[in-house]
Amino acid sequence: MFQNKSCSGKISESQSASQASDTITSFMLNSRIMLINMCCLRRDIKQISMSIERHIESYEGDIADGKRHGKGVLIWKTGYRYEGDFFKNKRTGKGKYYDKYGDLRYEGGFVDGVWNGKGKLFDENCTLRYEGDFVDGDWTGKGKYFDKDGILNYDGDLVDGKEHGKGKKFDENGKLRYEGNFVDGKKHGKGKLFDENGTLRYEGDSFDDNCTGKGKLFDENGNLQYEGDWVDAAPNGKGNLFYENGILGYEGDFVDHRNTGKGNYLIKIPI
């Protein structure tokens, strides 16, 4: 038979807690790089939108009361082309934009010439880069980002082109790495982080794109490793460390991912 024995006092550094912090920091860094890539994508797509608004070269299609109304094709002097619905001279309804090379760049809804409703955006290589909702030309509602190879990067809620609400982040291989809440393009609120093998590694609170609040860390086998307070992606405050078999090994204070301060080691000794 065995019993737990508590040992009180100041506790030295813990390698386990340090490894926990390194793991979380790596996750957050990769996620920030993905966010930068998404911002670049949004900028490129807006440049497309600006470049196609030029003087009209020609129009062929339906006319009512001297105005473009119904189905038609509108061509700009730059060579960009619109095919789709018109309502009282405005591009309203379903339509498609083509660049000067004849490649499809946007397909979806329009209101008064502005992207609204469901739509798809394509890059210069005809690769789908965004699919989802638009409001007044911006990505707002439900949507998906894709990288230049067509691999899904993000799937979830958007406001003004930023992740906001519930969503999922994927890595360059299309594997899920984060699932949870976003605010203004940053992980904020409840969420989960996964490693490249799909194993849950962190579950808990995030604040301003950092693991901050209450959270749990799991090892590569999915076993609970740490549970407690977090600040800036590191254990800080009160927390517990666990053995691989799930048995509590330490409970107490942590400072910058190390068990330092007041605490108890809980060990099993034969009786």
Instruction: State residue 56's pLDDT score.
Output: 81
Is pLDDT at 152 greater than 50 in this prediction? yes
Say if residues 244 and 219 touch (Cβ distance below 8 Å).
Answer: yes
Q: Does position 61 have pLDDT exceeding 80, yes or no?
A: yes
Average pLDDT over residues 11-18: 46
Residue 125 CB coordination number (10 Å):
10
- Say how far apart CA 182 and CA 87 lie, in whole Å: 37
Average pLDDT over residues 242-262: 86
In the chain, beta strands by DSSP E: 2-11, 56-64, 67-76, 81-86, 93-98, 104-111, 114-122, 128-135, 138-146, 152-159, 162-170, 176-183, 186-194, 200-206, 213-218, 224-231, 234-242, 248-254, 261-270
- Reduced to 3 states, what is the DSSP secondary structure of residue 51? helix
pTM: 0.80
- In this prediction, residue 2 carries a pLDDT of 34
Rounded mean pLDDT of 144-155? Answer: 94
Mean pLDDT, rounded, for 236-257: 89
Q: How confident is the model at residue 11 (pLDDT cuts 50, 70, 90)?
A: very low
Assess contact for 249 and 243: CB atoms under 8 A: yes
Q: 163-209: per-residue pLDDT in tens?
A: 999 999 999 999 999 999 999 999 999 999 999 999 999 999 999 88
Residue 10 has pLDDT above 60, yes or no: no
For residue 109, the model assigns a pLDDT of 97
